[in-house]
Amino acid sequence: MKQEIKKPVIIVGAGGHAKVIMEALILSGVEIIGCTSLNDKIGSFCQGIRVLGGDDVIFSYKPEDIMLANGIGSLPNQSTRWDLAAKMRARGFKFMSVKHPSIIISKNVKLEEGVQIMAGSIIQSGVEIGQDSIINSGSILDHDCNIGSQCHISPGVTLCGGVQIDNRTHIGSGTVVIQNVVVGNDAVIAAGSVIYQNIPNNITFIQRR
């Protein structure tokens, strides 16, 4: 994995996902300048992290002096997280990859900018994860899985070896994807599913009980 240059970080957002990001960064010893919020008062605190103002307060900093951490959560068919990332990158800012210190991760893993791997996850050899994707708490990605950009692998998902998840796809909590299956772009897989065959693009898969 490529080592990121350590710079102080601003967390974008102060909601539930931002709190998880805050804790991961604090435990990793990252310097946090503060967070942004559209709802909280400037100067108030979220888990001990000072609220700096709305998202545009970031533009008072130089892109070369800070990194950002995306604290906006990801839900199916909602683009707020991804729109925010595009807006900031258009102004020259970059996003830190967040890795909770409790994860188990192979040295032979490729992470693009802005990837977030939450507590208790296991990432095996040969895995590649695309820009801004979330690997949420307790997920297991076995060898040679390929995750596209802007994906959300929800808590407790298991991807067996050689699974491919294409861009902007949401895999619901507790889902198991059998080895070598391909899940297409913009797909949504309901929580608790067992996926044993390829899923086309733009499909919402709900397993019958």
Catalytic residues: 143
SS3 158: strand
Cβ neighbors of 102 (< 8 A, separation 6 or more) are: 119, 120
Measure the CA–CA gap between 53 and 44, rounded to whole angstroms.
10
Q: Which residue is associated with the tokens 């990801």?
A: 74
Count other Cβ atoms within 10 Å, centred on residue 156. 19
| Contact yes or no for 20/3 (Cβ under 8 A) | no
Q: Which residue is associated with the tokens 């990332």?
A: 85
Instruction: Supply 156's token pair.
Output: 């407790």
